[in-house]
Amino acid sequence: MAAPMPSPAPPVRCHALLPCAGSGSRAGTALPKQYQPIAGQPMVRHTLAAFAQVKRIAQVWVVVSPGDDTLRTSNAAFSIAACGGVTRAESVFNGLNHLLANGAAPSDWVLVHDAARCLVTPAQIDALIDACLPDGVGGLLALPLSDTLKHAGADGRVDATIDREGKWLAQTPQMFRIGALRDAYAAHAASAFAGITDEAIAMEAAGHAPLLVRGSAQNFKVTYPEDFALAEAILNSRNA
């Protein structure tokens, strides 16, 4: 009798995790900025629309504050994890634990993406997945610095010009194995994730070297009041 075939390894999946539990204090909007309408839709809906078009993403999770029902609708194409924390890092850490408790495998990939980067495109997300899937560590979208970099002294005057060669601005999505990223974050839980402003920092601190994948200047994070008009103009031009 033929030996039974070994069962095939489970497919490695990609999940998306969108931290969406901030207050948008710098944006000066009445609503938390991720829900502020831009081009006819709450900001995060544009972000969700981009991820919905990426076929290789098995599931999209949105991390919102406990009790935030803004996105709750039946038959949504995404899932809600109402476990947002006090900081972005805490929201991401709680979201990763939620994913692992809800069927994601530690070896699956996760793309963490700011809800407030509502101009990300399916093509940029796909480019990150293409670059990271064959990689041992994972990586992030980022942009080489194009302006000259100044350091400010205490009096608001330039006290140094910093060589911009080799310097990149980190964006999101940032794509890593869920288990490795959760463990990298867990190492900073006791210090309330001080200094952990993105996933790559946590991975770097754990001894990994994330891959830099060139993103786009249009993938900026809507942060200040003037960013809304620019985001709206870009979204409208894409829909024209």
- Note whether 86 binds ligand CTP by CB under 6 A: yes
| Stretch in the footprint of ligand CTP (CB under 6 A) among 13-21, 75-83, 123-131, 136-144 | 13-21
Looking at beta carbons only, is 64 or 165 nearer to ligand CTP?
Answer: 64
Displacement of CA 140 from its chain's centroid (Å): 9
Whether the bond into 66 is cis, omega within 30 of 0:
no
The span from the first CA to the last CA of the chain, in angstroms, equals 64
Whether the bond into 225 is cis, omega within 30 of 0:
no
> C-beta of 47: minimal distance to ligand CTP in Å?
8
Compute the distance between CA of residue 113 and CA of residue 5 in angstroms, rounded to an integer.
39
Helix (H) or strand (E) holding 169: strand 168-177
Q: How many CA atoms lie within 13 A of 16 on its CB side?
A: 30
Looking at beta carbons only, is 121 or 223 nearer to ligand CTP?
Answer: 223
Q: What are phi and psi of 122, to 5 degrees?
A: -55, -35
- Note whether 85 binds ligand CTP by CB under 6 A: yes
- Note whether 173 binds ligand CTP by CB under 6 A: no
> C-beta of 89: minimal distance to ligand CTP in Å?
8
| Stretch in the footprint of ligand CTP (CB under 6 A) among 26-34, 54-62, 187-195, 198-206 | 26-34
Looking at beta carbons only, is 29 or 59 nearer to ligand CTP?
Answer: 29
- Note whether 16 binds ligand CTP by CB under 6 A: no
Per CB under 6 A, contacts with ligand CTP among 35-64 are 63
Sole binder of ligand CTP in the list 54, 116, 178, 203 (CB under 6 A): 116
- Note whether 123 binds ligand CTP by CB under 6 A: no
Provide the edge-to-edge strand list for the sheet that holds 168-177. 79-81, 57-63, 14-19, 109-112, 168-177, 138-144, 211-214
Compute the distance between CA of residue 141 and CA of residue 219 in angstroms, rounded to an integer.
9
> C-beta of 21: minimal distance to ligand CTP in Å?
4
| Stretch in the footprint of ligand CTP (CB under 6 A) among 85-93, 126-134, 157-165, 206-214 | 85-93
